[in-house]
Amino acid sequence: MSNALVPEFAVSNWQQSKFFYCDILGFESVYERPEEGFCYLRLGEAELMIDQIGEGRTFDDGHLPESYPFGKGLNVQIRVPSIDPLTEALARYRRSLYLPVEEKWYRIGTKEGGHRQFVVADPDGYLLRFFQDLGLRAVLV
């Protein structure tokens, strides 16, 4: 759509993943191709694609995840205005957090950028780090 980088997650069940992303986390389905097990999703300015393994075009030849959790070594960061609606929805559906809510400050040159964040695993184990921006501050010594 409009982002220069849009990850595509190979998933084991695209309808289960779509439910997680849309019904629990609040993503919208921009468009989908059910016959291919494909869905293009958006939450605010964040975009991602899900594609069911074995349907439509599948990147095989050793590039597919072989076991849970998929996406080992990868987590995607997603900026949202507030993380509270997400953590509330996840609690309603009894989905546990991979990393609990925390406030973290990261050095960016001579400043620090603050995040209120948490990490959750999707149904296939892809790690999603949702954060709300806390602004900048001087580096604390």
- Pick the closest to residue 53 from 65, 69, 62, 40 (CA basis): 65
**pLDDT above 70: residue 87:** yes
Query: Amino acid identity of 61?
Result: D
CATH topology of domain 8-58+74-136: 2,3-Dihydroxybiphenyl 1,2-Dioxygenase; domain 1 (3.10.180)
Alpha-carbon Rg of the chain, whole angstroms?
A: 16
- pLDDT tens-digit readout, 97-140: 999 999 999 999 999 999 999 999 999 999 999 999 999 999 87
